[in-house]
A and B are shown apart, each in its own frame.
Chain A
Protein backbone atom coordinates (compact mmCIF):
# COMPACT_ATOMS: atom_id res chain seq x y z
CA UNK A 1 0.00 0.00 0.00
CA UNK A 2 1.29 3.45 -0.90
CA UNK A 3 1.04 6.14 1.78
CA UNK A 4 1.73 9.62 0.43
CA UNK A 5 4.18 12.20 1.79
CA UNK A 6 3.75 15.97 1.27
CA UNK A 7 4.96 17.48 -2.03
CA UNK A 8 8.54 18.68 -1.89
CA UNK A 9 9.56 16.17 0.77
CA UNK A 10 11.21 12.83 0.14
CA UNK A 11 12.58 9.70 1.73
CA UNK A 12 16.30 9.09 1.43
CA UNK A 13 17.32 5.47 1.00
CA UNK A 14 20.58 3.79 2.06
CA UNK A 15 22.67 4.18 -1.15
CA UNK A 16 22.06 7.91 -1.35
CA UNK A 17 22.22 8.34 2.41
CA UNK A 18 25.66 6.74 2.47
CA UNK A 19 26.94 9.25 -0.09
CA UNK A 20 25.27 12.20 1.61
CA UNK A 21 26.75 11.14 4.93
CA UNK A 22 30.24 10.95 3.41
CA UNK A 23 29.81 14.40 1.91
CA UNK A 24 28.41 15.78 5.13
CA UNK A 25 31.29 14.38 7.19
CA UNK A 26 33.87 15.77 4.75
CA UNK A 27 32.31 19.22 5.07
CA UNK A 28 31.98 19.17 8.86
CA UNK A 29 35.61 18.07 9.06
CA UNK A 30 36.67 21.17 7.11
CA UNK A 31 34.54 23.36 9.37
CA UNK A 32 35.76 21.81 12.60
CA UNK A 33 39.41 21.89 11.51
CA UNK A 34 39.06 25.63 11.14
CA UNK A 35 37.59 26.12 14.56
CA UNK A 36 33.88 26.14 13.69
CA UNK A 37 31.96 24.23 16.34
CA UNK A 38 28.85 22.38 15.21
CA UNK A 39 25.52 23.47 16.67
CA UNK A 40 21.93 22.35 16.27
CA UNK A 41 18.80 24.41 16.88
CA UNK A 42 15.13 23.43 16.83
CA UNK A 43 13.48 23.12 13.41
CA UNK A 44 10.49 25.01 14.80
CA UNK A 45 10.80 28.47 16.34
CA UNK A 46 8.42 31.17 17.44
CA UNK A 47 7.33 33.03 14.35
CA UNK A 48 8.02 36.40 15.93
CA UNK A 49 11.62 35.43 16.66
CA UNK A 50 12.25 34.47 13.02
CA UNK A 51 10.41 37.60 11.88
CA UNK A 52 12.84 39.69 13.92
CA UNK A 53 15.63 38.38 11.70
CA UNK A 54 14.01 39.11 8.40
CA UNK A 55 10.47 40.06 7.58
CA UNK A 56 10.44 38.07 4.38
CA UNK A 57 12.17 34.92 5.55
CA UNK A 58 9.69 34.89 8.35
CA UNK A 59 7.05 34.52 5.72
CA UNK A 60 7.76 30.91 6.34
CA UNK A 61 5.85 28.49 4.18
CA UNK A 62 4.97 26.39 7.18
CA UNK A 63 3.38 28.05 10.18
CA UNK A 64 1.10 26.58 12.78
CA UNK A 65 -0.18 27.02 16.31
CA UNK A 66 0.96 25.02 19.30
CA UNK A 67 -1.30 23.82 22.10
CA UNK A 68 -1.07 27.23 23.82
CA UNK A 69 -2.05 29.13 20.69
CA UNK A 70 1.44 30.51 20.01
CA UNK A 71 2.37 30.91 16.35
CA UNK A 72 5.28 28.66 15.38
CA UNK A 73 7.18 28.46 12.10
CA UNK A 74 9.58 26.05 10.43
CA UNK A 75 12.92 27.78 9.86
CA UNK A 76 13.77 28.72 6.28
CA UNK A 77 17.51 28.96 6.93
CA UNK A 78 19.99 28.62 9.79
CA UNK A 79 21.40 32.13 9.88
CA UNK A 80 18.49 33.66 11.79
CA UNK A 81 18.28 30.80 14.37
CA UNK A 82 22.04 31.07 14.96
CA UNK A 83 21.74 34.84 15.43
CA UNK A 84 19.09 34.07 18.05
CA UNK A 85 21.34 31.46 19.62
CA UNK A 86 24.31 33.82 19.82
CA UNK A 87 22.22 36.57 21.42
CA UNK A 88 20.71 34.17 23.98
CA UNK A 89 23.64 31.96 24.90
CA UNK A 90 26.84 33.79 23.97
CA UNK A 91 25.99 37.42 24.74
CA UNK A 92 28.95 37.70 27.10
CA UNK A 93 31.38 35.57 25.08
CA UNK A 94 34.52 37.08 23.61
CA UNK A 95 34.15 37.36 19.82
CA UNK A 96 34.89 36.16 17.23
CA UNK A 97 32.59 33.17 17.52
CA UNK A 98 32.64 30.36 14.99
CA UNK A 99 29.73 27.99 14.42
CA UNK A 100 28.87 25.44 11.77
CA UNK A 101 25.83 23.29 11.09
CA UNK A 102 24.21 20.71 8.93
CA UNK A 103 20.48 21.21 9.26
CA UNK A 104 17.21 20.91 7.42
CA UNK A 105 15.30 24.05 6.50
CA UNK A 106 11.95 24.56 4.75
CA UNK A 107 10.79 26.74 1.86
CA UNK A 108 7.79 26.63 -0.47
CA UNK A 109 9.68 26.13 -3.73
CA UNK A 110 8.67 24.27 -6.88
CA UNK A 111 10.04 20.81 -6.16
CA UNK A 112 12.62 19.48 -8.63
CA UNK A 113 15.94 17.66 -8.53
CA UNK A 114 18.17 19.36 -5.97
CA UNK A 115 15.37 21.64 -4.82
CA UNK A 116 12.98 20.21 -2.27
CA UNK A 117 10.76 22.04 0.20
CA UNK A 118 12.63 20.34 3.01
CA UNK A 119 16.33 20.55 2.25
CA UNK A 120 19.65 20.13 4.05
CA UNK A 121 22.07 23.03 4.34
CA UNK A 122 25.69 22.86 5.46
CA UNK A 123 27.33 26.11 6.41
CA UNK A 124 29.26 28.31 8.80
CA UNK A 125 28.65 31.56 10.65
CA UNK A 126 31.53 33.79 11.71
CA UNK A 127 30.30 36.25 14.33
CA UNK A 128 32.27 39.29 15.42
CA UNK A 129 34.81 39.47 12.59
CA UNK A 130 34.37 42.60 10.45
CA UNK A 131 35.08 43.07 6.73
CA UNK A 132 37.28 42.46 4.95
CA UNK A 133 39.15 39.95 7.16
CA UNK A 134 35.97 38.15 8.25
CA UNK A 135 34.70 37.93 4.68
CA UNK A 136 38.03 36.55 3.52
CA UNK A 137 38.02 33.88 6.19
CA UNK A 138 34.51 32.79 5.18
CA UNK A 139 35.53 32.57 1.51
CA UNK A 140 38.57 30.52 2.50
CA UNK A 141 36.41 28.04 4.40
CA UNK A 142 33.99 27.92 1.48
CA UNK A 143 36.79 27.12 -0.95
CA UNK A 144 38.16 24.40 1.29
CA UNK A 145 34.63 22.96 1.52
CA UNK A 146 34.22 22.91 -2.26
CA UNK A 147 37.61 21.23 -2.58
CA UNK A 148 36.62 18.63 -0.01
CA UNK A 149 33.49 17.95 -2.05
CA UNK A 150 35.62 17.46 -5.16
CA UNK A 151 34.06 20.40 -6.99
CA UNK A 152 37.26 21.77 -8.44
CA UNK A 153 35.47 23.69 -11.17
CA UNK A 154 33.11 25.53 -8.83
CA UNK A 155 33.16 29.33 -8.94
CA UNK A 156 32.29 31.85 -6.23
CA UNK A 157 30.52 35.05 -7.25
CA UNK A 158 31.32 38.06 -5.07
CA UNK A 159 29.00 41.07 -5.09
CA UNK A 160 27.83 43.89 -2.86
CA UNK A 161 24.35 43.98 -1.39
CA UNK A 162 24.32 47.77 -0.98
CA UNK A 163 25.37 48.77 -4.49
CA UNK A 164 21.90 49.10 -5.97
CA UNK A 165 20.31 50.27 -2.73
CA UNK A 166 22.73 53.21 -2.75
CA UNK A 167 22.19 53.81 -6.43
CA UNK A 168 18.41 53.95 -5.96
CA UNK A 169 18.76 56.25 -2.96
CA UNK A 170 20.85 58.52 -5.15
CA UNK A 171 18.12 58.37 -7.80
CA UNK A 172 15.59 59.18 -5.04
CA UNK A 173 13.53 56.07 -5.66
CA UNK A 174 11.62 55.08 -2.53
CA UNK A 175 8.94 52.77 -1.21
CA UNK A 176 7.17 50.17 -3.28
CA UNK A 177 8.78 51.19 -6.56
CA UNK A 178 12.18 50.69 -4.99
CA UNK A 179 11.28 47.18 -3.79
CA UNK A 180 9.89 46.25 -7.15
CA UNK A 181 13.03 47.50 -8.93
CA UNK A 182 15.27 45.57 -6.53
CA UNK A 183 13.18 42.48 -7.18
CA UNK A 184 13.60 42.87 -10.96
CA UNK A 185 17.32 43.21 -10.39
CA UNK A 186 17.45 40.08 -8.24
CA UNK A 187 15.56 38.19 -10.97
CA UNK A 188 17.67 39.74 -13.72
CA UNK A 189 14.53 40.71 -15.59
CA UNK A 190 16.32 43.37 -17.61
CA UNK A 191 13.38 44.17 -19.86
CA UNK A 192 11.12 44.68 -16.84
CA UNK A 193 13.86 46.57 -15.03
CA UNK A 194 14.19 49.13 -17.80
CA UNK A 195 10.42 49.55 -17.91
CA UNK A 196 10.14 50.00 -14.11
CA UNK A 197 12.99 52.50 -13.99
CA UNK A 198 11.52 54.56 -16.81
CA UNK A 199 8.12 54.38 -15.15
CA UNK A 200 9.68 55.72 -11.94
CA UNK A 201 10.67 58.79 -13.95
CA UNK A 202 14.37 58.06 -14.07
CA UNK A 203 16.31 59.57 -16.96
CA UNK A 204 17.35 57.20 -19.77
CA UNK A 205 21.01 57.71 -19.05
CA UNK A 206 20.58 56.57 -15.46
CA UNK A 207 18.46 53.62 -16.56
CA UNK A 208 21.32 52.52 -18.81
CA UNK A 209 23.80 52.94 -15.96
CA UNK A 210 21.70 50.71 -13.76
CA UNK A 211 21.27 47.99 -16.40
CA UNK A 212 24.93 48.10 -17.44
CA UNK A 213 26.12 47.81 -13.83
CA UNK A 214 23.96 44.77 -13.24
CA UNK A 215 25.67 43.01 -16.15
CA UNK A 216 29.24 43.55 -14.95
CA UNK A 217 30.90 40.31 -13.89
CA UNK A 218 34.43 38.97 -14.25
CA UNK A 219 37.80 39.71 -12.70
CA UNK A 220 39.10 42.78 -10.93
CA UNK A 221 38.81 44.92 -14.07
CA UNK A 222 35.05 44.91 -13.48
CA UNK A 223 35.52 47.35 -10.59
CA UNK A 224 37.19 49.91 -12.84
CA UNK A 225 34.45 49.48 -15.43
CA UNK A 226 31.88 50.04 -12.69
CA UNK A 227 33.51 53.30 -11.66
CA UNK A 228 33.56 54.42 -15.28
CA UNK A 229 29.87 53.66 -15.67
CA UNK A 230 28.53 54.54 -12.23
CA UNK A 231 30.84 57.32 -11.04
CA UNK A 232 30.77 58.47 -7.44
CA UNK A 233 27.60 56.67 -6.46
CA UNK A 234 29.23 53.27 -6.78
CA UNK A 235 32.49 54.38 -5.19
CA UNK A 236 31.73 53.00 -1.74
CA UNK A 237 30.57 49.60 -2.94
CA UNK A 238 33.38 49.18 -5.48
CA UNK A 239 36.02 50.33 -2.98
CA UNK A 240 34.70 47.81 -0.48
CA UNK A 241 34.66 45.03 -3.09
CA UNK A 242 38.16 46.01 -4.21
CA UNK A 243 39.40 45.81 -0.64
CA UNK A 244 37.88 42.35 -0.17
CA UNK A 245 39.23 41.11 -3.49
CA UNK A 246 42.71 42.40 -2.67
CA UNK A 247 42.64 40.67 0.68
CA UNK A 248 41.56 37.45 -1.06
CA UNK A 249 44.46 37.80 -3.48
CA UNK A 250 46.87 38.31 -0.61
CA UNK A 251 45.68 35.07 0.96
CA UNK A 252 46.01 33.37 -2.42
CA UNK A 253 42.33 32.41 -2.58
CA UNK A 254 41.04 34.78 -5.29
CA UNK A 255 41.51 32.32 -8.15
CA UNK A 256 38.00 30.92 -8.18
CA UNK A 257 36.33 34.16 -7.07
CA UNK A 258 34.54 36.24 -9.65
CA UNK A 259 33.37 39.79 -9.04
CA UNK A 260 29.71 40.12 -9.94
CA UNK A 261 27.98 43.45 -9.53
CA UNK A 262 24.63 42.01 -10.58
CA UNK A 263 24.54 39.72 -7.58
CA UNK A 264 21.58 40.28 -5.27
CA UNK A 265 20.51 37.76 -2.68
CA UNK A 266 16.81 37.74 -2.04
CA UNK A 267 17.13 37.59 1.74
CA UNK A 268 16.69 40.99 3.35
CA UNK A 269 19.36 40.81 6.05
CA UNK A 270 22.46 40.95 3.84
CA UNK A 271 24.74 43.99 3.86
CA UNK A 272 28.07 44.49 2.14
CA UNK A 273 29.75 41.49 0.51
CA UNK A 274 27.48 38.74 -0.81
CA UNK A 275 28.44 35.35 -2.22
CA UNK A 276 26.96 32.82 -4.57
CA UNK A 277 28.39 29.45 -5.60
CA UNK A 278 28.10 27.84 -9.04
CA UNK A 279 29.34 24.70 -10.69
CA UNK A 280 29.31 24.33 -14.50
CA UNK A 281 27.77 20.87 -14.13
CA UNK A 282 24.60 22.21 -12.53
CA UNK A 283 22.10 24.83 -13.73
CA UNK A 284 21.18 25.81 -10.17
CA UNK A 285 23.06 27.82 -7.56
CA UNK A 286 24.89 25.56 -5.09
CA UNK A 287 24.60 27.97 -2.22
CA UNK A 288 25.47 31.43 -1.08
CA UNK A 289 26.11 33.76 1.79
CA UNK A 290 27.78 37.00 2.64
CA UNK A 291 27.87 39.64 5.34
CA UNK A 292 24.95 40.49 7.58
CA UNK A 293 26.43 43.10 9.83
CA UNK A 294 23.05 44.41 10.99
CA UNK A 295 21.33 41.10 11.77
CA UNK A 296 22.73 40.46 15.25
CA UNK A 297 21.74 43.96 16.34
CA UNK A 298 18.11 43.03 15.78
CA UNK A 299 18.64 40.42 18.49
CA UNK A 300 20.36 42.86 20.83
CA UNK A 301 24.01 42.03 20.19
CA UNK A 302 25.81 44.48 17.94
CA UNK A 303 28.35 42.30 16.15
CA UNK A 304 29.41 42.18 12.50
CA UNK A 305 28.94 38.75 10.96
CA UNK A 306 29.34 36.70 7.78
CA UNK A 307 28.68 33.16 6.66
CA UNK A 308 27.66 30.80 3.90
CA UNK A 309 25.37 27.85 3.36
CA UNK A 310 25.57 25.13 0.72
CA UNK A 311 22.59 23.05 -0.32
CA UNK A 312 23.84 19.58 0.56
CA UNK A 313 21.68 17.78 -2.02
CA UNK A 314 22.71 20.12 -4.84
CA UNK A 315 26.38 19.70 -3.98
CA UNK A 316 25.75 15.98 -4.17
CA UNK A 317 24.11 16.29 -7.61
CA UNK A 318 27.03 18.41 -8.85
CA UNK A 319 29.47 15.90 -7.41
CA UNK A 320 27.82 13.09 -9.35
CA UNK A 321 27.69 15.14 -12.58
CA UNK A 322 31.35 16.10 -12.23
CA UNK A 323 32.30 12.48 -11.62
CA UNK A 324 30.53 11.27 -14.74
CA UNK A 325 32.07 14.13 -16.74
CA UNK A 326 35.56 13.16 -15.57
CA UNK A 327 34.92 9.58 -16.56
CA UNK A 328 34.19 10.86 -20.05
CA UNK A 329 30.97 11.08 -22.06
CA UNK A 330 29.12 7.81 -22.15
Chain B
Protein backbone atom coordinates (compact mmCIF):
# COMPACT_ATOMS: atom_id res chain seq x y z
CA UNK B 1 0.00 0.00 0.00
CA UNK B 2 1.57 3.25 -1.13
CA UNK B 3 -0.71 5.49 0.92
CA UNK B 4 1.23 7.59 3.40
CA UNK B 5 0.64 5.98 6.74
CA UNK B 6 -0.70 8.37 9.35
CA UNK B 7 1.97 9.43 11.77
CA UNK B 8 4.94 8.34 9.70
CA UNK B 9 5.53 11.75 8.17
CA UNK B 10 5.82 13.15 11.65
CA UNK B 11 7.70 10.34 13.29
CA UNK B 12 10.75 10.15 11.12
CA UNK B 13 12.76 7.47 12.87
CA UNK B 14 16.46 7.98 12.53
CA UNK B 15 18.65 5.99 10.14
CA UNK B 16 18.65 2.33 9.26
CA UNK B 17 16.93 -0.29 11.39
CA UNK B 18 19.29 -1.63 14.08
CA UNK B 19 19.30 -5.42 14.33
CA UNK B 20 20.94 -7.11 17.33
CA UNK B 21 22.81 -10.23 16.17
CA UNK B 22 23.82 -12.87 18.74
CA UNK B 23 27.45 -13.95 18.80
CA UNK B 24 28.41 -17.46 19.86
CA UNK B 25 26.57 -20.65 18.97
CA UNK B 26 23.71 -18.86 17.23
CA UNK B 27 25.92 -16.66 15.03
CA UNK B 28 26.34 -19.05 12.08
CA UNK B 29 22.65 -19.90 11.78
CA UNK B 30 21.72 -16.26 12.23
CA UNK B 31 23.98 -15.09 9.40
CA UNK B 32 22.63 -17.85 7.15
CA UNK B 33 19.01 -16.93 7.76
CA UNK B 34 19.82 -13.23 7.30
CA UNK B 35 21.52 -14.00 4.00
CA UNK B 36 18.46 -15.96 2.91
CA UNK B 37 16.34 -12.97 3.88
CA UNK B 38 18.49 -10.70 1.71
CA UNK B 39 20.26 -8.91 4.55
CA UNK B 40 23.91 -8.27 3.76
CA UNK B 41 26.08 -10.09 6.32
CA UNK B 42 29.39 -10.12 4.40
CA UNK B 43 30.96 -7.54 6.72
CA UNK B 44 30.18 -9.60 9.83
CA UNK B 45 31.61 -12.70 8.23
CA UNK B 46 34.79 -10.86 7.18
CA UNK B 47 35.62 -8.82 10.17
CA UNK B 48 34.67 -10.56 13.34
CA UNK B 49 36.27 -8.05 15.71
CA UNK B 50 34.03 -5.05 15.00
CA UNK B 51 30.75 -4.64 16.89
CA UNK B 52 28.72 -2.45 14.57
CA UNK B 53 28.25 -3.14 10.86
CA UNK B 54 26.43 -0.22 9.21
CA UNK B 55 24.22 -0.98 6.24
CA UNK B 56 21.95 1.15 4.14
CA UNK B 57 18.74 -0.55 5.13
CA UNK B 58 19.79 -2.43 8.25
CA UNK B 59 22.70 -1.95 10.62
CA UNK B 60 23.88 -5.13 12.31
CA UNK B 61 25.04 -4.91 15.92
CA UNK B 62 26.70 -7.98 17.39
CA UNK B 63 26.52 -8.89 21.08
CA UNK B 64 26.15 -11.73 23.56
CA UNK B 65 22.81 -13.50 23.10
CA UNK B 66 21.85 -12.71 26.70
CA UNK B 67 22.32 -8.99 26.05
CA UNK B 68 19.88 -8.94 23.13
CA UNK B 69 16.69 -8.49 25.23
CA UNK B 70 18.37 -5.67 27.17
CA UNK B 71 19.28 -3.70 24.05
CA UNK B 72 15.95 -4.36 22.35
CA UNK B 73 13.83 -3.53 25.40
CA UNK B 74 15.56 -0.17 25.75
CA UNK B 75 15.20 0.55 22.04
CA UNK B 76 18.98 0.84 21.54
CA UNK B 77 18.40 -1.93 18.97
CA UNK B 78 15.06 -1.88 17.12
CA UNK B 79 14.93 -5.62 16.51
CA UNK B 80 17.07 -8.61 17.41
CA UNK B 81 17.61 -12.34 17.29
CA UNK B 82 18.24 -14.49 20.34
CA UNK B 83 17.43 -17.90 21.81
CA UNK B 84 14.13 -18.73 23.50
CA UNK B 85 16.18 -19.81 26.53
CA UNK B 86 17.40 -16.22 26.92
CA UNK B 87 13.88 -14.81 26.51
CA UNK B 88 12.47 -17.19 29.11
CA UNK B 89 15.26 -16.49 31.56
CA UNK B 90 14.68 -12.74 31.13
CA UNK B 91 10.90 -12.95 30.93
CA UNK B 92 10.56 -9.57 32.63
CA UNK B 93 12.22 -7.83 29.68
CA UNK B 94 9.42 -6.33 27.64
CA UNK B 95 10.12 -7.27 24.01
CA UNK B 96 7.76 -8.42 21.27
CA UNK B 97 8.43 -11.97 20.10
CA UNK B 98 7.49 -11.94 16.44
CA UNK B 99 8.81 -15.12 14.88
CA UNK B 100 10.17 -18.59 15.63
CA UNK B 101 13.20 -18.84 13.34
CA UNK B 102 13.43 -22.58 13.83
CA UNK B 103 17.23 -22.91 13.97
CA UNK B 104 19.62 -23.22 16.88
CA UNK B 105 17.38 -25.96 18.22
CA UNK B 106 18.42 -27.32 21.58
CA UNK B 107 16.87 -28.71 24.74
CA UNK B 108 16.83 -27.40 28.29
CA UNK B 109 17.36 -30.49 30.43
CA UNK B 110 17.91 -31.68 33.96
CA UNK B 111 21.04 -33.84 34.02
CA UNK B 112 22.78 -35.85 36.72
CA UNK B 113 25.76 -38.14 37.07
CA UNK B 114 25.46 -41.37 35.16
CA UNK B 115 24.34 -44.26 37.32
CA UNK B 116 24.22 -42.08 40.40
CA UNK B 117 21.12 -41.55 42.54
CA UNK B 118 22.12 -38.30 44.23
CA UNK B 119 19.23 -36.36 42.68
CA UNK B 120 16.56 -38.79 43.88
CA UNK B 121 18.22 -39.32 47.22
CA UNK B 122 18.51 -35.62 48.05
CA UNK B 123 14.92 -35.12 47.00
CA UNK B 124 13.69 -38.03 49.15
CA UNK B 125 15.87 -37.74 52.23
CA UNK B 126 16.67 -34.03 52.37
CA UNK B 127 13.50 -32.65 50.81
CA UNK B 128 15.27 -30.62 48.19
CA UNK B 129 17.80 -30.97 45.39
CA UNK B 130 20.71 -28.65 44.74
CA UNK B 131 20.75 -27.63 41.10
CA UNK B 132 23.58 -25.73 39.42
CA UNK B 133 22.53 -23.68 36.42
CA UNK B 134 23.02 -20.61 34.26
CA UNK B 135 19.24 -20.39 34.08
CA UNK B 136 18.06 -19.98 37.69
CA UNK B 137 14.65 -18.59 36.77
CA UNK B 138 13.81 -21.28 34.22
CA UNK B 139 14.98 -23.94 36.67
CA UNK B 140 13.03 -22.47 39.59
CA UNK B 141 9.87 -22.19 37.52
CA UNK B 142 10.21 -25.74 36.24
CA UNK B 143 10.65 -27.33 39.64
CA UNK B 144 7.90 -25.20 41.14
CA UNK B 145 5.53 -26.26 38.38
CA UNK B 146 6.34 -29.90 39.09
CA UNK B 147 5.89 -29.47 42.83
CA UNK B 148 9.50 -29.99 43.90
CA UNK B 149 11.74 -27.84 46.06
CA UNK B 150 15.22 -27.02 44.91
CA UNK B 151 18.13 -24.84 45.80
CA UNK B 152 19.35 -23.25 42.58
CA UNK B 153 23.02 -22.36 42.49
CA UNK B 154 23.92 -19.90 39.78
CA UNK B 155 27.28 -20.55 38.14
CA UNK B 156 28.78 -18.80 35.14
CA UNK B 157 31.35 -21.20 33.74
CA UNK B 158 31.32 -24.92 32.89
CA UNK B 159 28.20 -26.18 34.64
CA UNK B 160 29.26 -29.82 34.20
CA UNK B 161 31.82 -29.32 36.92
CA UNK B 162 29.25 -28.71 39.65
CA UNK B 163 27.84 -32.26 40.11
CA UNK B 164 31.24 -33.84 39.46
CA UNK B 165 32.90 -32.34 42.51
CA UNK B 166 29.85 -32.09 44.73
CA UNK B 167 28.66 -28.49 44.43
CA UNK B 168 25.25 -29.71 43.24
CA UNK B 169 23.21 -32.88 42.80
CA UNK B 170 22.41 -32.07 39.21
CA UNK B 171 22.36 -29.34 36.59
CA UNK B 172 19.82 -27.58 34.43
CA UNK B 173 21.44 -26.64 31.16
CA UNK B 174 21.00 -26.26 27.45
CA UNK B 175 22.18 -29.19 25.33
CA UNK B 176 22.43 -29.36 21.56
CA UNK B 177 24.13 -32.69 20.84
CA UNK B 178 24.64 -33.96 24.37
CA UNK B 179 28.35 -34.53 23.74
CA UNK B 180 29.58 -32.35 26.57
CA UNK B 181 27.32 -34.19 28.99
CA UNK B 182 28.56 -37.56 27.78
CA UNK B 183 32.22 -36.51 27.99
CA UNK B 184 31.68 -35.56 31.62
CA UNK B 185 29.85 -38.73 32.49
CA UNK B 186 26.51 -36.97 32.88
CA UNK B 187 23.15 -38.04 31.48
CA UNK B 188 19.80 -36.39 30.74
CA UNK B 189 17.20 -37.17 33.40
CA UNK B 190 14.34 -34.88 32.39
CA UNK B 191 13.54 -32.72 29.38
CA UNK B 192 12.32 -29.27 30.39
CA UNK B 193 11.67 -27.53 27.11
CA UNK B 194 12.89 -27.05 23.57
CA UNK B 195 14.47 -23.78 22.45
CA UNK B 196 15.00 -22.21 19.04
CA UNK B 197 16.12 -18.80 17.82
CA UNK B 198 13.48 -16.07 17.93
CA UNK B 199 13.04 -12.73 16.18
CA UNK B 200 12.14 -9.98 18.65
CA UNK B 201 11.28 -6.29 18.37
CA UNK B 202 11.23 -3.22 20.56
CA UNK B 203 7.71 -2.21 21.47
CA UNK B 204 7.95 1.36 20.22
CA UNK B 205 9.95 0.50 17.08
CA UNK B 206 7.29 -2.10 16.24
CA UNK B 207 4.77 0.76 16.15
CA UNK B 208 6.84 3.56 14.64
CA UNK B 209 8.79 1.52 12.08
CA UNK B 210 5.93 -0.82 11.29
CA UNK B 211 6.59 -1.09 7.57
CA UNK B 212 10.29 -1.90 7.85
CA UNK B 213 9.77 -4.40 10.64
CA UNK B 214 6.82 -6.12 8.95
CA UNK B 215 8.85 -6.34 5.76
CA UNK B 216 11.85 -7.88 7.55
CA UNK B 217 9.57 -10.27 9.46
CA UNK B 218 8.02 -11.45 6.19
CA UNK B 219 11.44 -11.97 4.63
CA UNK B 220 12.68 -13.89 7.66
CA UNK B 221 9.54 -16.03 7.70
CA UNK B 222 10.12 -16.85 4.04
CA UNK B 223 13.77 -17.67 4.72
CA UNK B 224 12.77 -19.91 7.61
CA UNK B 225 10.21 -21.88 5.63
CA UNK B 226 12.74 -22.73 2.90
Select which of B5, B73, B97, B208 is within 8 A of A190 by beta carbon.
B97
Question: Contact mask B96-130 → A, CB, 8 Å, 1/0?
Answer: 11111000000000000000000000000000000
A282 touches B204 (CB 8 A): yes
Select which of B12, B14, B207 is within 8 A of A157 by beta carbon.
B207
Task: Kindly state the interface size class of chain A when it binds its partner.
Answer: 35 or more
Supposing A217-B207, A280-B14, A283-B75 touch, asked if A191 and B97 sit within 8 A by C-beta, the answer is yes
Report A158-192 residues with CB < 8 Å from chain B CB.
187-192
In the assembled complex, the Cα of A255 lies from the Cα of B11 at a distance in Å of: 11
A198 vs chain B, min Cβ distance (A): 13
B137 vs chain A, min Cβ distance (A): 13
A278 touches B6 (CB 8 A): no
B59 vs chain A, min Cβ distance (A): 14
A155 touches B92 (CB 8 A): no
Binds B, one of A73-81, A88-96, A257-265: A257-265
Task: Kindly state the interface size class of chain B when it binds its partner.
Answer: 35 or more
Select which of B11, B98, B202 is within 8 A of A155 by beta carbon.
B11
Chain A residues closer than 8 Å to B204, beta-carbon distance: 278-280, 282-285
Chain B residues closer than 8 Å to A154, beta-carbon distance: 10-11
In the assembled complex, the Cα of A243 lies from the Cα of B135 at a distance in Å of: 49
Q: Chain A residue with minimal CB distance to B5?
A: A218
Supposing A153-B12, A218-B5 touch, asked if A192 and B97 sit within 8 A by C-beta, the answer is yes
B97 touches A155 (CB 8 A): no
Q: Chain B residue with minimal CB distance to A254?
A: B6
Select which of A153, A155, A219, A256 is within 8 A of B207 by beta carbon.
A155
Question: Contact mask A257-281 → B, CB, 8 Å, 1/0?
Answer: 1111000000000000000101110
Chain B residues closer than 8 Å to A220, beta-carbon distance: 6
Q: Chain A residue with minimal CB distance to B96?
A: A188
Interface status of B4 (Cβ within 8 A of chain A): yes
Interface status of B76 (Cβ within 8 A of chain A): yes
B1 touches A278 (CB 8 A): no
Additional A-B contacts beyond A218-B5, A258-B7 (12; CB < 8 A): A110-B92, A154-B10, A189-B96, A190-B99, A219-B3, A219-B7, A256-B10, A279-B11, A280-B13, A282-B75, A283-B203, A325-B14
Tell me the B residues contacting A by CB distance below 8 Å: 1, 3-7, 9-14, 73-76, 92, 94, 96-100, 198, 201-208, 210-211, 214
Tell me the A residues contacting B by CB distance below 8 Å: 110, 112, 152-157, 187-192, 215, 217-221, 254-260, 276, 278-280, 282-285, 325
Q: List 10 A-B contacts (CB under 8 A).
A: A187-B97, A192-B97, A215-B214, A255-B9, A260-B207, A278-B11, A278-B207, A280-B12, A283-B203, A284-B203
